[in-house]
Amino acid sequence: MNSVSPNHPRPAAKNGRTRVVVTGMGTVNPLGKNVEEYWHGLIEGRSGASPIERFPSDRLATKFACQVNTFDPQDYLERKAAQRMARFSQMAVAASKMALADSGLDLTKEDSFRVGVAMGTGIGAFDDMTQGAASFLSKGRLNPMYAPTIIPNMAGASVAMQFHLRGPNTTVTTACAASTQTLGDASRMIQHGDADVMLAGGTEASLCEVGIASFNAIRALSTRNDAPEKASRPFDRDRDGFVPGEGAGTLILESLEHAQKRGARIYGEVLGYATTNDAFHQVAPDETGEAPARAVTLAIKDAGLEPGDVDYVNAHGTSTQLNDAGETKALKIALGEHARKVAISSTKSMIGHLLGAAGAVEAIATLLTINRGIIHPTINYENNDPECDLDYVPNQARRQNVRIAISNGFGFGGHNAVVVLGKYEE
């Protein structure tokens, strides 16, 4: 295992900026209703894909998804409050409630103006949006709460209202890079003194007939209807598209000083962050890999580290032909020869693609890897692809000490975001 380069100490030692740590985590996703269920599913290599149950799929080319069929918003919210929220907002509140409980943070002792929210979503309330439009076209009327329910910022606003958080509140909608960016943006808000605590995360609940049809129209989804559990196969030669998913994840970020003062348990540290753009195409990534590579390079530099210090990469790994080949190329550019030594795995092989929520939910997996010394596998990896020739931890979890990890998030529109996470050390 590589250690931190002696010539590139941690940021606090190098430039004195505020250190940002993670003290709580919560998630609801296709593998579980909490962090522990999620972790066990990842280590077991269990697929969350199954035939669609909530709406008709007979007109769809893709008839399966990674669904959260056991989610009941009233487990986390009062009935009236839940009825005023779209599903993506309900999930954001659920994940945030779990994260706050996990952190042990007593909000009654906090200045509410010093606790903020940064929430990412790619699409938001797609289901409610299409249902409302259909209702208006057929009946000529809309629910009065239609507009405030579907707007993307309402997930973060709902979290703030539920917990009376009056600090910074921002919503990022950079497609599938969104909640990786919220982690970086929230960290910088703490470093700039705008908040002591930030709830940073992402949420997505766009599984509906129109949502899936829209991704089918651009041929982005797998159509492996005969074997949904085998459909998400990042970096495998026979990958044929991503598997749509839903869920939410929230991480509690604090300044180190604030966390230490209250004796918080610390999962890890946000060491670095960077974002770039391909400026190339609405949907397709730039095949050169130059822009995502630059994001990786800048994030590692922001952390005060060298490429050789990276032990693990939680890849964006969508299971599409272009993304997986492009990400492999980007890692080779950014990490050089070390790319062939570092362990890489894709959480999406099991939970599908949670779009705007992917980065936060995958960052939780990355922090658990750092804490528990086990790297989850990339499942369904059966056939080598000459364009994807790195170590993707195929099919079986691996015990390995991980001190420094990066988590990638790349989105439609060419958005690239990378966060560097590390084991907390005094």
Active site residues: 176, 316, 353
> What is the distance between the alpha carbons of residues 213 and 241, in angstroms, rounded to a whole number?
14
- Sign of the dihedral through C-alpha 56, 59, 64, 65: negative
| Residue 196, helix vs strand vs coil | coil
Instruction: Quote the CA–CA distance of 299 and 303 in Å, as a whole number.
Output: 6
Distance in angstroms (rounded) separating the CA atoms of residues 340 and 252: 33
From CA 288, how far away is CA 326, in angstroms rounded?
7
The span from the CA of 426 to the CA of 424, in Å, is: 7
Q: How far apart are CA 222 and CA 53, in angstroms?
A: 18
105 to 21, 187, 268: CA distances (angstroms): 14, 18, 16
Helix, strand, coil shares, percent, the chain, to 5: 40, 20, 40
Tokens of 318: 């969508």
**Dist CA 344 CA 226 (whole Å):** 28
Helix (H) or strand (E) holding 102: helix 87-103
Q: What are the residues whose beta carbons fall under 8 Å from the beta carbon of 91, sequence distance 6 or more?
A: 28, 68, 71, 155, 203, 204, 205, 246, 247, 248, 357
DSSP-derived 3-state class of residue 307: helix
H/E element, 163: helix 154-163
Rounded-to-10 torsion of CA 321, 326, 331, 337: 90
Let me know: does 358 contact 121? Beta carbons within 8 Å.
no
